[in-house]
A = this chain, B = another copy of it.
Amino acid sequence: MTSNGQSIGQLRHEPRVLLGPGPSNVHPRVFQAMTSPILGYLDPDFLAVMDDSMELLRHLFQTKNEVAITLPGTGMSGMEASICNVVEPGDEVIVGIHGFFGQRMAEIVERHGGTAIRVEVDFGDVVQVSQIADALDQHPDAKMVGVVHGETSSGVGQPLSELGDLVRSRDKLFLVDTVCSLGGSDIRVDEFNIDICYSGGQKCIGGPAGIACITLNDRAMSLIESRTKSVDTWYLDLALIRKYWFDDRAYHHTAPGPMVFALREALRMIQEEGLQERFARHQRCGDLLKKELTGMGLELFGDPAHRLPMLTCVLIPDGVDDAVVRKRLLDEYRIEIVGGFGPLKGKAWRIGLMGYSCQERHVHYLIAALREILGR
């Protein structure tokens, strides 16, 4: 009995078809791995699991980086770790902003004592390479350029390849958030000259929420390890976390074993499917969804040249009540889609097709449900 005298019962909620911006559904294999027997954080079998995870993460990030590890937190812990380890007080960081998560990146730079140089475009557009070049001209001492690849808030994806060339040519660090897109888009960390890249488990990777993954190349790691001042955040200090993942195996935190097991299995499924096949699946399902939505007379949001496959932002037709539709989808169909953010609040729906949720049958089911509810 709790303090209010009532007993809290066992969980009994029904499954959902999760078509929001994450969490997504996970394959039963991922759940099975999650409940593998618990291991101590220095058990030889657990150290092998960590090594496997690194190998599988290098494959997913398309990198030869030594450091390709998990972090004991959500995708946002990846954003914070990327910034707090690099930024020392007074450092300038250029942040290309095309939505909510870019804003957050700039905010975190400032929390850690840095100066965020904001290069901002409208929601739904992408940042131009020339804009970042101008900012670099004006701020030649900037230490890093950061962008969000897949903006979950707008459904638009930032092109990376040319931007990476530019940033490397100016000898700055290039930081890319791929929380929304890794595992669903062709993110080539080494080829795109990305120095720091992170993601979260619960979107296109097909794992659970609560675990992040990150890769850093030697340029980034040596800069971090030559800091003059300690990182202001102990929990996400990558120099300490690195020691736990490599030869020293020095205790930093008690690894979230079930999350690591689950992520490893999700990564194994990515390896089995093949990266290109997986990206094609996301593209195919995303294209189908967009075709079906426009076929119903709905209008898509964002620059058509850069719409994401895994997250579609669609405008809510005039006279349709956002909350009522989403409630009916959830209550009657057990489908989750999510509302708009910031300038799109109440004006758009965000529909995700990520990881195991990314299935053609889910598109057909959602469209059937929407046709019923909207009467179209």
Q: Hey, which bits of chain A sit against chain B, CB under 8 A? A: 1-4, 7-8, 10-11, 13-16, 18, 20, 22-26, 31, 33-45, 49, 52, 55-56, 58-59, 64, 72-77, 80, 84, 104, 107-108, 110-113, 200, 202, 208-211, 230-236, 253-259, 261-262, 264-265, 268, 271, 330, 336, 338
Shortest Cβ gap from A39 to chain B (Å) = 6
CB proximity of A275 to chain B, nearest CB, Å: 11
Query: Known: A8-B52, A76-B253, A259-B259. Contact between A232 and B3, CB under 8 A?
Result: no
**What are the nearest 10 A-B pairs in CB distance?**
A210-B256, A15-B37, A31-B35, A13-B45, A80-B235, A74-B253, A209-B254, A2-B55, A11-B36, A8-B52
Of B16, B235, B271, which is within 8 A of A76 by CB?
B235
The A contact surface, by secondary structure, is loop
Report how far A200 CA is from B72 CA in the complex, Å: 13
- A208 cross-chain contacts in B, Cβ below 8 A: 38, 256-258
Most buried by B among A4, A80, A110, A111: A111
- Known interface pairs A13-B45, A258-B208; A56-B8 also in contact (CB < 8 Å): yes
A319 to chain B: closest CB distance in Å? 24
Q: Is the CB of A235 within 8 A of B236?
A: yes
Beyond the given A11-B49, A43-B336, A74-B254, please list 17 additional residue pairs across the A-B interface where CB-CB is below 8 A.
A2-B56, A3-B55, A7-B271, A8-B55, A10-B265, A13-B37, A13-B45, A16-B37, A23-B254, A72-B74, A74-B256, A75-B254, A208-B258, A209-B256, A210-B256, A256-B259, A258-B262
Q: Please report the C-alpha to C-alpha distance between residue A41 and residue B75 in the assembled complex, in whole angstroms.
A: 14
Task: Determine how close the nearest CB of chain B comes to the CB of A79; give it in whole angstroms.
Answer: 8
- List 11 contacting pairs A-B, 8 Å CB cutoff, sorted by A: A11-B265, A23-B257, A25-B38, A38-B208, A76-B254, A80-B234, A112-B232, A208-B257, A210-B256, A233-B235, A259-B259
Q: Is A40's CB under 8 angstroms from B11's CB?
A: no
Contact among B11, B26, B38 with A261 in the assembled complex (CB-CB below 8 Å): B11
Partner of A254, one of B22, B58, B257, B265: B22
Once the chains bind, are B210 and A72 in contact (CB under 8 Å)?
Answer: yes
Say yes or no: A258 contacts B59, CB within 8 Å: no
Establish whether residues A34 and B258, one from each chain, have CB atoms under 8 Å apart when the complex forms.
yes
B33 touches A10 (CB 8 A): yes
**Residues of B with C-beta under 8 A to A8:** 52, 55-56, 264, 268, 271
The residue that A18 contacts in the complex, of B40, B107, B236, with Cβ under 8 A, is B40
In the complex, the chain B residue whose C-beta lies closest to that of A81 is B235
Determine whether the beta carbon of B16 is less than 8 Å from that of A40: yes
Contact between A4 and B235, CB atoms less than 8 A apart: no
Determine if B11 and A58 form an interchain contact, defined as CB atoms under 8 angstroms apart. Answer: no
Is A14's CB under 8 angstroms from B37's CB? yes
What residues of chain B lie closer than 8 Å to A25, measured between beta carbons?
A: 38
Among candidates B7, B18, B34, B202, residue contacting A34 with C-beta atoms closer than 8 Å: B34
B39 touches A16 (CB 8 A): yes
**Contact of A230 with B111 in the complex, beta carbons under 8 Å:** yes
B11→A255 contact, CB < 8 A? no
Q: Is the CB of B34 within 8 A of A20?
A: no
A255 to chain B, nearest CB (A): 7
Set of chain B residues within 8 Å of A108, measured between Cβ atoms? 234
Instruction: Report chain B residues within 8 Å CB of A13.
Output: 36-37, 39, 45
Q: B52–A271 contact, CB under 8 A?
A: no
Bound form: Cα–Cα A38–B113 in Å: 37
Nearest Cβ in chain B — how far from A310, in angstroms? Answer: 15
